Chain A
Amino acid sequence: MSVRIVFLGKLADLAGVAERDLPAPLDWQGLLDAVPGPLGEAVRSERTRIAVNGALLADKSALSAGEGDEVALLPPVSGG
């Protein structure tokens, strides 16, 4: 089992994939280590939010994902 990472919006372009699995457990540092370069910068950006299983984290550096969890990386939105 692992943690499913979902890249939304332009983060999917930067990642080259829409989803990727990382080993569980996964914390903020583990996530950063897995996303080098421009993707890492975008993930660090204060405008990028993180949700675990559909629930938004107030503080993304508190990320703590376990087996089977889905971690969504959410760049700034533009709807309507």
Chain B
Amino acid sequence: MARDVRLLAEPFNPGQFVGPFTNAHPGLGGVCTFVGEVRGGEGQDAGVEALELLHYPPMTLPGMEALADEALARFDLMGILIIHRTGVMRVGEPIVLVSAAARHRRGAIDAVDFTMDHLKSDSWFWKRERRGGQWHWIEPREQDHADIARWG
């Protein structure tokens, strides 16, 4: 199981995926996992009632699979797991899960960082949030572009 890439339309429990992913790679030296959740509560995120992620089926999953292949080719990995939600989510729900297994930690950590930067600003998703009953599209941030530029 070198590559496991999925789009999910329903809420998921990250542990349900990370456990089997880890077990599928006996002999690994480390697993690095990042889980992104719908942020809420404070500052500019106050008042967010829901988040919606839209995708384009002919391109979104194929693009994620190509990204997983790129991470496998670039870093010294045993396997990579990418799970991304679509649809409407509430504050606190997981949006994205990236997990990488490797013989040595550096490959796993860097692969997750690389994959997250590319999911944020170079994958076929469109995000909007609802505040006060109104939906607003979320534009990519400058920081997202700066993050992805680190990988050359």
Contact = CB atoms under 8 A, between A and B. Distances in A.
Interface of A: 6, 8-10, 13, 51, 53-54, 56, 70, 72, 74-80
B89 interface: no
B124 interface: yes
A8 B56 contact: yes
A72 B120 contact: no
Nearest to B59: A54
A77 B60 CA distance: 11
B58 A77 contact: no
A78 B144 CA distance: 9
Identify whether the interface residues of A are mostly helix, strand, loop, or mixed. loop
B54 A8 contact: yes
A79 B120 contact: yes
B140 A78 contact: yes
Given A78-B139, A80-B119, A72 B125 contact: no
Interface in B36-86: 36, 53-54, 56, 58-59, 62, 84
A10 B126 contact: yes
Given A9-B137, A10-B137, A79 B123 contact: yes
A80 B139 contact: no
Contacts of A9: 54, 126, 128, 137
